[in-house]
Chains A and B, each alone.
Chain A
Amino acid sequence: MTAPALRLRGVCAAYDRIEVLRGVDLDVPAGSVVALLGPNGAGKSTTLAVVSGQMRPTSGSVEMAGCDVVGASPDALARAGVCMVPEGRGIFPNLTVTENIKLLSHFGVKTGHALDVAFEHFPRLKERRKVLAGRLSGGEQQMLALARALATDPALILLDELSMGLAPTIVEHLYEQVTALARTGVSILLVEQFASVVLDIADHVAVMSHGRVQAEGRPEDVAATLSTAYLGDAS
C-alpha cells in the first residue's frame, strides 16, 4: 500500500502561547479530495498553515508521501509540489494577470505553458491578462489563484475557504474546476466553513473543533454529526 499524500499525526501548534492545534490526526490518501470542516477558530486554517510550511508545529509529525516535512520552508514545499491557495485572495494585486502567472516559472513550469493552461480553464482571465490583479472582481481573482494550482501540476493542493465572499454561481464554477482537477489524480485538502458546498465533491470529510479532528468519514456519514460540531453538544 502506498503512503498517503499527506499524513498528520498528533500535530500541535500555537500562536505564542495560545495553543490552537491540540493533536491533529489526518490522512489525505493519494488522489483523493479531503474536506476539512468546522466552525470558526477550530484550527482549520492553522492546519493548512502547518502543512504549507508557514507555521512550525510545536510537536507531532507531518509526512508527505512518507517523507517528514516538518521544518521545510514554504517556498521549498511549494517547489516540491505543494500548492496552497490561501484564504482571501491568493494573488498579487499590483502585478498584472500575466505577471501573476509568470511567477509560476519558479516551479520549473514554462511561462507559455502556464499561460496556456490558465487561459484554457478560465478564458475570462485571457480577456483581462493586462489588467492589474487588484482590479479584478473577487471571482476573477479566485480564478487566478486557482489557475496557479492548475498550471503548476502540483502533487498536493491546499485550498483555504475558496468560497469566501463569492456569489454561489461563481463558487459552483470554481468547484467544478476543482473536481476536474481531482480527476487528474492530484490530492486535495480543502477547508470550508460552509459544509454544503463541498460535501458533494469530497471523498472524505474530517470535522475539526477545539484544535482536533472530532469526526471523520464519508460525506454522507459525517453530515449527520456536523451540527454537533458547529453548535456544540446539546446535552
Chain B
Amino acid sequence: MTRILEIADLRVDLSRAERRVSPVGPVDLWLDAGECLGIVGESGSGKSLTLKAILDLLPDGLTRGTGTQKIAQGGRLVPTDPRSLRGAKISMISQEPAAALDPLMRIGDLIGEIVRHHSGCSWAEARLRAVDLLRRVGVPDPETRARFWPHELSGGLKQRVVISMALACQSDMLLCDEPTTALDVTIQAQIVDLLRDLQVNDGLGLIFVTHDLALIRQIADRICIMYAGLIVETGPSSEIFSNPQHPYTRALLAALPDIEQSEGRLVPIEGTPPAPTAFPQGCRFGPRCPRASDVCRQTAPALLATEDAQDVKVACHHTGDVT
C-alpha cells in the first residue's frame, strides 16, 4: 500500500491563551491510498478540529500548532504546507453541503469552473465533463440536473454534487466531516455506498469523521477513537469492535443501542467530558473511568501497541488487565 498522508504530532492551539491550551493533540495520523480511516468521538472530542487542521481550515481563535505533515509526491513523502493542499490533493465534504455550493451558480457551472481551473479546457468541454462527473456520483438524469440551481436539489443530491466537485479536483484524498448526519438513513446508505465505490474503484483515500459508531463500523478499514482531544485507541475496525481495549471504547459500546437487541439496559457514562481549559492531569478519561488508579491520576498514558495485536494501539495504563 502506498502511504499518501503522514502527520506527526498534530496540535490545535487556542490562539489567545496565556498558557498553551490545546483542544487537540498531540495526534499522529496516516492514510494509505484507497483506504478509509474513521475518526470517532463524541461532541467536543476534537474529531472535526483534527480533520480541519489537515487543511488548516480551523475556525477563528484556533491555530495549528506544531507537527509535520507529509504528502506523497512522485512516490516520496514530502513535507507540505497544509494550505497548498486545499482543492488540489485533498478535498473536503461537510455535514452541510449547501455551504459548499454557490447559490447563484448552476450545478454544471459550479463543477465546470473547477474542471476549467484544473485542466484549462474550454467552457463547452468543461460542461460536458461536469455531466460525466454528475453521472459518476449517481445523480439521475445528469444533463437536466446540470442546469439546476443548488436550492432545487435535495440534501442527498447536494452531497453528491459536492463529492463530484472533489472528483473534479482530481484529489487523492477526501476528508468527510459527518457527511451523512443531516441525511435520512436510506439516503445515508446511498452516499456511503458511493464513497465506498470511489474508494475501492478509484483508489480515493477517505478520512471519515462521525459520532456514529455503527456507521464507522460499516465504512472504515481502520479507526481512531478520540476522547478529549487525544486518540485513546486505534487499529483495524474489525479488531476494535470485536475486542475493545480502552475503557472509554468499551463504555461507548455499552451505551449504544443496537438495532438487533431489544432487551437489556443501556449503560450511560457518568460525568461529562472535560473542557480543553480544564483537561485533568494524567489520563483525561481518568475522572470518569471505573478502572482509574493512582498512576492514572498522575501520568498521562502513551498510545502504545498492545501485546496481543501489534496493529492495535491503546492509551491506557491498565491495558491487558483482567476486567
Q: Do A and B come from one complex?
A: no
